[in-house]
Amino acid sequence: MKLQSRARRTLVSAGVAAAVLVSAVAAAATGSFGGGTPDRSAGLAKQIDPDKPRNVILLIGDGTDESIITAARNYEKGADGAFALDRLPFVGDMTTHGLKVGPGPDYPIAYVSDSAPTASAWSTGHKTVDGRVSQGPSTADTVPGQDFRTVLMDWRDSGRRTGNVSTSEITDATPAAAASNVNARACQGPADMANCVAARKANGGKGSIAEQLVDNEIDVILGGGLNRYNQATDAGPSVLDYAEDAKDYRFVSSAAGLDGIGSLGGGPVLGLFAPGNLTPRYSPLIATPPPGAGGPTARCSLANRGTQPSLAAMTEKAIDLLDNRRGFFLQVESAMVDKQEHAADICGAIGDVSELDDALEVALDYRRHNPDTLIVVTSDHAHSTQIVPNGSSGRQTATLLTADGDPMSVAYSTQAVGSSHTGSTVRVAAVGPQAANVTGLIDQTDLYWTLKGHKPSKLHGGGKH
């Protein structure tokens, strides 16, 4: 029974084309099917597509490593359950290390990175130092490195539409790296340029991240961070006024406002739904020193998100607007997994893994009718949530009742209060044209080439091309 119901869910949600369904169902699914299940080789082989994708949808869970995915799966689906992200056919493991500042040209390795160099790696194909946004390493944090073009800019310059969606401030490191170049991630608005003086527009630079996202003419920008856009530019008007007046952006600030946008015919869209970050799906449950927070009957509660759209709603609207014959590149980030892990907030982090998965379901629905779409789901770096035996020690712990009806405990032990990134590899999973390139152990800079799209190749023994 379990096999059947899981296979059926795969049919509905993974969006596999009808022609490959029968053999691909088992291949696209994951989990243990016991010894009696058929060999998956043929199903997987049929999903290897060497064409260049027409569309690319990159979904990022910030700080979303195997550990928090497992905790979220246990909580939401049960230990034998599966998210949509668990059912993608091609899965690899991705290294996330970065560099440290130095005299160069060889820079020391940073084994634990933040979201700026990691997002820069897949955005540009180059490693860089902590805090740096799509710009190379240098001798010091305040010394700019070399600007690198991003994969989003490449797609834009080839006449494709582009989108950038996040649940954090849209100027935060992950969405920033998609379409801006600056030496310090803190330089989010024109009033935040203390560590990026040369980048100020008054000094002939490209400006703050908020300004660069607009200047790079991304068709759809959706997220938080209105306060950055209300800052005055060096020229006087706010960044928001500049976006509307000089770049023809249409500004919306609520889910209803976003619903009201029907096409890109009236100009690009700038949706900013909160002064800062958007609200996570669940209210916080913050781990505490043992015996810890929560308990064997504790469940997470939905937060009041007011007029903010969900990540899935933003993703659906972005895809609707970007869809066109020539193709598009869309980056979507569930940002608050990382931020709630920093806060040792198990409910906040779990809920936003589900937000990521819901956004993936939207992308898979689109792919069902647009199979020339490459979908990649991954993370930027690992984090510190660990699933531990009930009653374990650890600096801060919490216990929740899972979908299995059993208690699951987690511990955060990288800091006395809160928690920090860790240096493990992260999962990268994909479906669609050239998705097979994510398998095995790859580096974050390798992902750049897959997102850019390789030249179509031939399959051994004939097949396509």
Beta carbons of 385 and 67 less than 8 angstroms apart: yes
3-state secondary structure of 70: helix
**3-state class of 380 per DSSP?**
coil
Q: Which of 259, 177, 267 is nearest to 220 (CA)?
A: 267
Q: Which is nearer to Zn ion, 338 or 446 (CB)?
A: 338
Q: Report in angstroms how near the CB of residue 380 gets to Mg ion at its nearest.
A: 7
Q: Are 130 and 177 in contact (CB under 8 A)?
A: no
Q: Does the footprint of Mg ion cover residue 335 (CB under 5 A)?
A: yes
The residue type at 87: R
Q: Is 62 in the site for Mg ion (CB under 5 A)?
A: yes
Q: 400-427 as b/e, with b when 16 or more CB fall inside 10 Å?
A: bbbbeeebbbbbbbbeeebbebbebbbb
What residues are annotated to the active site?
115
Q: Tell me the window of 208-216, 301-309, 338-346, 352-360 that interacts with Zn ion (CB under 5 A).
A: 338-346
Site string for Mg ion, 153-192 (x = CB under 5 A): ---------------------x------------------
Q: Which is nearer to Zn ion, 10 or 118 (CB)?
A: 118
Q: Minimal distance in Å, beta carbon 173 to Zn ion?
A: 9
Structural element, H or E, at residue 334: strand 328-334
Query: Locate tokens 């005299």: which residue?
Result: 103
* 315 belongs to the binding site for Mg ion (CB under 5 A): no
> Which residue has the CB atom at the shortest distance from Zn ion?
338
Give me the phi and psi of 75, to 5 degrees please.
-70, -45
User: Shortest Cβ distance from residue 421 to Zn ion (Å)?
Assistant: 6
Q: Closer CB to Mg ion, residue 334 or residue 402? A: 334
62 or 86: whose CB is closer to Mg ion? 62
Residue of minimal Cβ distance to Mg ion: 174
**Given the rule CB under 5 A, which of 19-27, 190-198, 268-276, 334-342 is the region that contacts Zn ion?**
334-342
The amino acid that residue 59 corresponds to is L
Of 342 and 367, nearer to Zn ion (C-beta) is: 342
Question: Sign of the C-alpha dihedral, residues 447, 452, 454, 459?
Answer: positive
Span from 120-128, 283-291, 311-319, 335-343 in contact with Zn ion (CB under 5 A): 335-343
Q: Does 244 bind Zn ion (CB under 5 A)?
A: no
Type and span of the H or E element at 252? strand 250-252
Q: At its nearest, how many Å lie between Mg ion and the CB of residue 295?
A: 31
CA atoms within 13 A of residue 45's CA, in its CB half-sphere: 10
Query: Among residues 130, 338, 352, 446, which is the contact residue for Zn ion, using CB under 5 A?
Result: 338
Considering only 115, 208, 308, 414, the residue that binds Mg ion (CB under 5 A) is: 115
Show the tokens assigned to 167.
Answer: 């649940």
Closest residue by Cα to residue 57 from 328, 368, 354:
328
Among positions 59-118, residues that touch Zn ion (CB under 5 A) are: none
Which positions touch Zn ion (CB under 5 A)? 338
Which positions touch Mg ion (CB under 5 A)? 62, 115, 174, 335
